[in-house]
Structure 1
Amino acid sequence: MSNAPLPLINPVPLPLDKELVLKVIPMPADTNGNGDIFGGWVMAQVDLAGSVLPARHVQGRMATVAVNEFIFKQPVRVGDILSFFSSVTRVGRTSITVQVEVYAERFRSQGQYVKVTEASLTYVAIDDEGRPRPIPR
């Protein structure tokens, strides 16, 4: 078996209009029955990454209220270095919507990236009783 890097499908540059908010490497315990990374694990990481920018605005408790869109573009594999980029797309009175894009740097193709997931999520600022509250301006 050759140790040559596998060719990437559609390698892309990393986004310049979003902020890097999380980097993580999935491990064997995160796999599904096919040996790829379980989609639910990816979704949890996207939710964590998506909360970073809203937390700066909300200045307190918040909750995920909607996953508006979630697209798995390519599988994630054990050992991929995942980079999560986010940007705020909307700020309302009590809620914030963000776009998250996930890029994989494949274990054998270091320095080249492929977009594996993109999502849109909405978070709402909440008070101590869990009720929506205004976002500080």
Structure 2
Amino acid sequence: MIAMNSPEKVTLPTDQELVLKVIPMPADCNANGDIFGGWVMAHVDMAGSVLSARRVQGRMATVAVNEFIFKQPVKVGDILSFFSRIIKVGRTSITVQVEVYAERFKLQGQFIKVTEARLTYVAIDESGKPIPIPAE
């Protein structure tokens, strides 16, 4: 992944839920020494599914990655914090915003936003057909 702009130190969001924390390891690197974008995407999908699964209370499937922005490279040893919030609930689908912040291993206590994404999941039955999401 290529740096899109200079890192800006930020505070962690308070209007979203911390749903996942992970530290990428050397096996997750590309040839340039940065973490594979696909590795980050897989973890974003897992993070997005946490609140969706809680709301759907059953099976669901990722149906769309509506937006995915890599803002900064992820490095080996970064402590990644994945924050999520539900932004829309439809009849059978749910859309979630995920933001990923890195705490660089050597600069602990300082955070930069490295990725943000918007994903849509659909509630499904045992045969994979869409079903209504239960009312809250």
Matches within 5 A, 1:50-65: 50-65=48-63
**Which residue number in structure 2 is paired with residue 84 of structure 1?**
82
Deviation at 1:57, TM superposition (A): 1.1
One-letter amino acid of the structure 2 residue matched with residue 43 of structure 1: M
**Which residue number in structure 2 is paired with residue 22 of structure 1?**
20
% identical equivalent positions: 78
Deviation at 1:23, TM superposition (A): 0.1
- 1:32-65 Cα shifts (integer Å, max 9, x gaps): 1111000000000000000000111111100000
For structure 2, the residue ranges without an aligned partner over 5 or more in a row are 1-5
**Which residue number in structure 2 is paired with residue 135 of structure 1?**
133
- 1:53-87 Cα shifts (integer Å, max 9, x gaps): 01111111000000000000000000000000000
**Which residue number in structure 1 is paired with residue 3 of structure 2?**
none
**Which residue number in structure 2 is paired with residue 120 of structure 1?**
118
SS state at 2:106 partner: coil
Distance in structure 2 (CA, Å) of the matches to 1:9 and 1:28: 22
Deviation at 1:9, TM superposition (A): 2.5
SS state at 1:108 partner: helix
Q: Report how many aligned residue pairs link the two structures.
A: 130
Larger radius of gyration: 1
Distance in structure 1 (CA, Å) of the matches to 2:7 and 2:93: 36
The two structures have a TM-score, normalised by structure 1, of 0.94
**Which residue number in structure 1 is paired with residue 106 of structure 2?**
108
Distance in structure 1 (CA, Å) of the matches to 2:79 and 2:133: 34
Q: 2:71 aligns with which of 67, 73, 87?
A: 73
Show structure 1 runs of 4+ deviating over 6 A: none
Indicate the RMSD between aligned Cα atoms, in angstroms: 0.8
One-letter amino acid of the structure 2 residue matched with residue 17 of structure 1: D
